[in-house]
Amino acid sequence: MQIQVRAFIAAIFYNLKRRARMLLRDVHAVYLAAFDPRVPWYVKILAATVAGYALSPIDLIPDFIPILGYADDLIIVPLGIWLAVSLIPQDVMAEYRIKADQAERPRSTMAAVAIVAIWVVALVALSWAAIARWSH
């Protein structure tokens, strides 16, 4: 009985690792597809945004915030990747999945700059609101 439980747990972890690798490959493929002329402009914007956020070292919601910190990594990013993949033509996506399997993972500094800018603007707005509220 205990051997069956271990085998079951091992199978679950194997499946999770496989899915995580597929998700990373799709992130890279979506990033590559964002620059393809066969992809509609609105899908390019979505693909670049999703891939940039997924590859960014900075999260919109920091991981140290309980529950919400990991929500973007576990829910928002996979949903964004799924949406981008479903909007990109299948032949284009298949081509870039092959290229993504053979390439290194890209990094997005522009997405990191955008996320930092969002946090700075939010911090300034929050500070301004706090000063306006308690300065009377």
Q: What is the pLDDT of residues 126-135, one digit of tens each?
A: 899 888 888 7
Segment 97-124, tens digit of pLDDT: 998 888 765 566 776 777 788 878 888 9
- Contact call for residues 73 and 46 (beta carbons, < 8 A): no
Are 80 and 54 within 8 A, CB to CB? Answer: yes
Domains held by the chain: number: 1
Check whether 37 has a pLDDT greater than 90.
Answer: yes
State the number of CA atoms in the 13 A half-sphere of 37 facing the CB: 0
Distance, first Cα to last Cα, the chain: 70
pLDDT > 70? residue 136: no
Q: Which domain holds residue 88?
A: 2-134
Q: Which two tokens stand for residue 109?
A: 């500094």
3-state secondary structure of 10: helix
* Mean pLDDT rounded to a whole number for the chain: 83
Q: Nearest Cα to 31, choosing from 54, 59, 2, 63?
A: 54
User: What's the half-sphere exposure (Cβ side, CA atoms, 13 Å) at 16?
Assistant: 7
pLDDT for the residue numbered 105: 59
C-beta separation of 60 from 87 below 8 A = no
Taking residues 76-89, report their average pLDDT: 90
